[in-house]
Amino acid sequence: MEKKEKILVAVTILMVAILAACFYYDRNSALIHRTLPYKLPDDVKLVDIDKHGFLFYRVSYEAKYEINAYNPEEILTFFVQAYGDSGQMLSNSDYQTMSAYMFENYYSYVDLKPNPAPGSGVWMQEADLVDGHHVLNFIVLEPNEHAYLYVYYTR
């Protein structure tokens, strides 16, 4: 092999290694672990996540987790431990009014939106992190009788 071919092979191997490291760094569990100040319980299941930005620099994401519908207080204790605040309960009508404005103006890029069951309340928790990032959390009981935690993270 000539010197040019050796250099080409070495650069190709280096680029593949860098790309693999990027995908490993950007996997869902690593992103959540880096950005949330608490660890979610083991029984929580990630249903969907939508990431915005580049592999090494995510500017925001929205995530939907299925949680235990009979024990949502477990998540509230994580909010208190991480943020010092458990948030507040909104009535369905208050949530509908607030979310129409919020998802139209501030979170217009969001695809994952809570869909609370009629007559159910929505738990909302919002916090600014030490590094200047912002997290908005919703705990919702949806019409399919499943409870979900929605996490909206923004740099």
DSSP label at residue 117: P
Give the chain's mean pLDDT. Answer: 88
97 vs 56: which has the higher pLDDT: 97
**What distance lies between CA 70 and its chain's CA centroid?**
22
Alpha helices in 54-140 (DSSP H): 73-83, 92-105
Q: Which residue has the tokens 């997290």?
A: 135
Confidence of residue 40 (pLDDT cuts 50, 70, 90): confident
Instruction: State pTM to two decimals.
Output: 0.87
Token readout for 4 is: 């040019």
User: Would you state the pLDDT for residue 110?
Assistant: 87
pLDDT tens column, 107-146 = 888 888 898 988 888 999 988 888 888 999 999 998 888 9
Confidence of residue 36 (pLDDT cuts 50, 70, 90): confident
Strand order in the sheet with 122-128: 45-54, 57-67, 147-154, 134-141, 122-128, 88-90
